[in-house]
């Protein structure tokens, strides 16, 4: 780590103790973080082991975070955890507080509380490196390097812990580094769908549920996965599957709104563009209903239980009433959209069969003996269905070989084309 000459800074801080760690929670502006803090490449004596940490930082993630800092007015980060050694960090507690207020809070504070509030001074000779938040740090550095202008600069919450370069000190810091990074869990898909205000798919899922009759009430199961319970008798699919359908629609179907998934997840568009995505989502399901009679029955019914019972159950039913089936048909529409409009693509897909007990679903998606859905042949089923439409990217020989192998019948023939 290169040592640079930097001036002393004094940071407002809270002093705390947890286990054997004494730590200081401070406010530090973004420019100082970018200038003073480096990556956790000094917790190993072996340089190659340290280099592994540096290589694990993904450039794409850094660019995404930098863009987030530069464009998102409501930006916010969790605290960075920073190890410090060398130099002369100095903690100064506030021994007393004076207040002219009639409701004098200061007089009510215990000595322990007063001793926890103070300032941490950094001389500039310290070596600082991030134990937790390295991607955030890399994004901050990139944003500053790109010429980020903030007046005043953002204040970040940083937690300082003391590091020692002894054998025991290195071991202790490495353990903290791995503990912080192993126990940090990504935000769940369910939380994203329910709460995310930047993710376009999540926003549109919520709007489909709250602002249309398509998925109001129990018409969609509030399950973050694509697994629809056999006891569910009212829903077409799950919110998790609905999110995936919209992801395919917004990222793979050739429309003017088509964008990369990462861009749609991290940067909320303006209201006009967001409405366009919502309108596209609504249009998609309305077109599906117009071209698949069974879906039309579902969306137009006041009570959906009888419709769901008719098209989903131990008897099999309709592929579109299964999350995987709805996803496969959306994949097919995405493929067709390379040659046709969205409306025409769905019209063509509407010529396909949908009964699970019939070819090609029997053996590829549905097992009549066990009366269970099989998710293992999704790609083969998609290509067989595209073959039936004359649009598969595979050769006929490849499709036939995969079809025979998947259903376990070396004499099977491909189903007849429908167009």
Q: How far apart are CA 239 and CA 246, in angstroms?
A: 10
- For 318-357, letters b (16+ CB in 10 Å) and e give bbbbbbbbbbbbbbbbbbbbeebebeebbebbbebebebe
Backbone angles phi, psi at 416, to 5 degrees: -65, 145
Q: How far apart are CA 215 and CA 221, in angstroms?
A: 9
Mean pLDDT of 172-188: 76
Backbone angles phi, psi at 207, to 5 degrees: -70, -35
Tell me: the pLDDT tens digits for 117-152?
Answer: 889 999 888 889 888 888 899 999 999 999 988 888
Q: How far apart are CA 136 and CA 139, in angstroms?
A: 5
* DSSP secondary structure letter of residue 57: S
Reading phi first (left if > 0) and then psi (alpha if -120 to 50, else beta), residue 137 is in: alpha
Label the pairing between strands 237-238 and 220-221.
parallel
Tell me: the pLDDT tens digits for 275-285?
Answer: 999 999 999 99
Q: Chain-wide mean pLDDT for the chain?
A: 88
Looking at per-residue pLDDT, the higher value among 327 and 64 belongs to 327
What 3-state class would DSSP assign to 228?
A: coil
Flag whether the pTM goes above 0.85.
no
The residue extents of the domains of the chain are: 9-184, 190-356
The full DSSP string for 152-216 is SPPEEEEEEEE---SHHHHHHHHHHHHHHHHH--PPPHHHHHHH-SS-HHHHHHHHHHHH-SSS-
Q: How far apart are CA 24 and CA 17, in angstroms?
A: 9
Q: Which of 211, 222, 244, 253 is nearest to 327 (CA)?
A: 244
Mean pLDDT of 337-355: 97
Longest C-alpha distance within the chain, in Å? 93
Mean pLDDT of 306-320: 95
- Here the tokens at position 126 are 């310290």
pLDDT at position 219, please?
A: 94
pLDDT at position 184, please?
A: 66
Highest-confidence range of 198-202, 287-291, 314-318, by mean pLDDT? Answer: 287-291
pLDDT at position 165, please?
A: 81
**Alpha carbon separation from 245 to 52, 146, 169, 262, 282 (Å, rounded):** 37, 36, 50, 16, 12
- Here the tokens at position 314 are 């131990």
Q: Provide the angle, in degrees to the nearest 10, between the axes of the packed helices 134-145 and 59-71.
A: 60
* DSSP secondary structure letter of residue 393: S
pLDDT at position 242, please?
A: 97
Tell me: the pLDDT tens digits for 80-119?
Answer: 999 998 877 888 887 655 555 555 655 666 777 777 888 9
**Alpha carbon separation from 361 to 5, 49, 372 (Å, rounded):** 69, 51, 12
pLDDT at position 115, please?
A: 78
Mean pLDDT of 24-38: 92
Dihedral of the alpha carbons of 256, 260, 261, 266, in degrees to the nearest 10: -100
């Amino acid at each position: 780590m290169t040592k640079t000459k930097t001036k002393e800074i004094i940071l407002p801080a809270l002093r705390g103790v947890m286990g054997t760690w004494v730590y200081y929670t401070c406010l530090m502006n973004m420019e100082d973080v970018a200038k003073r803090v480096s990556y956790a490449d000094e917790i190993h004596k072996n340089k190659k082991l340290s280099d592994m940490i540096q290589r694990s930082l993904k450039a794409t993630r850094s660019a995404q975070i930098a863009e987030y800092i530069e464009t998102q007015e409501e930006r916010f980060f969790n605290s960075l955890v920073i190890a410090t050694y060398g130099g002369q960090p100095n903690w100064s507690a506030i021994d007393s507080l004076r207040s002219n207020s009639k409701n004098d809070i200061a007089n009510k504070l215990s000595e322990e509380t007063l001793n926890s509030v103070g300032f941490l001074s950094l001389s500039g000779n310290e070596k600082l490196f991030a134990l937790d938040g390295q991607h955030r740090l890399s994004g901050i550095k990139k944003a500053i390097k790109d010429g980020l202008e903030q007046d005043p600069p953002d204040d970040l919450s940083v937690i300082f812990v003391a590091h020692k370069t002894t054998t025991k000190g290195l071991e202790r810091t490495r353990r903290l580094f791995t503990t912080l990074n192993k126990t940090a869990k990504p935000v769940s898909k369910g939380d994203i769908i329910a709460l995310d205000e930047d993710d376009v798919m999540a926003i549109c899922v919520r709007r489909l549920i709250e602002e249309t009759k398509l998925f109001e009430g129990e018409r969609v199961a509030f399950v973050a996965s694509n697994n629809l319970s056999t006891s569910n008798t009212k829903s077409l699919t799950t919110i998790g599957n609905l999110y995936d359908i919209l992801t395919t629609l917004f990222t793979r179907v050739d429309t003017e709104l088509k964008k990369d998934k990462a861009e749609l997840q991290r940067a909320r568009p303006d209201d006009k563009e967001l409405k366009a995505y919502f309108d596209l989502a609504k249009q998609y399901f309305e077109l599906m209903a117009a071209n698949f009679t069974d879906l039309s029955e579902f969306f137009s019914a006041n009570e959906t239980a009888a419709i769901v019972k008719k098209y989903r159950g131990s008897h099999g039913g309709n592929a579109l009433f299964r999350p995987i089936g709805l996803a496969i048909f959306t994949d097919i529409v995405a493929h067709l959209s390379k040659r046709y409009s969205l409306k025409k693509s769905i019209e063509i897909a509407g010529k396909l069969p949908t009964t699970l007990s019939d070819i090609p679903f029997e053996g590829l998606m549905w097992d009549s003996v066990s009366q269970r859905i099989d998710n293992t042949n999704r790609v083969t089923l998609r290509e067989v269905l595209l073959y039936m439409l004359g649009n598969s990217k595979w050769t006929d020989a490849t499709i036939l070989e995969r079809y025979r192998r998947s259903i376990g019948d070396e004499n099977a023939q491909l189903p007849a084309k429908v167009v």
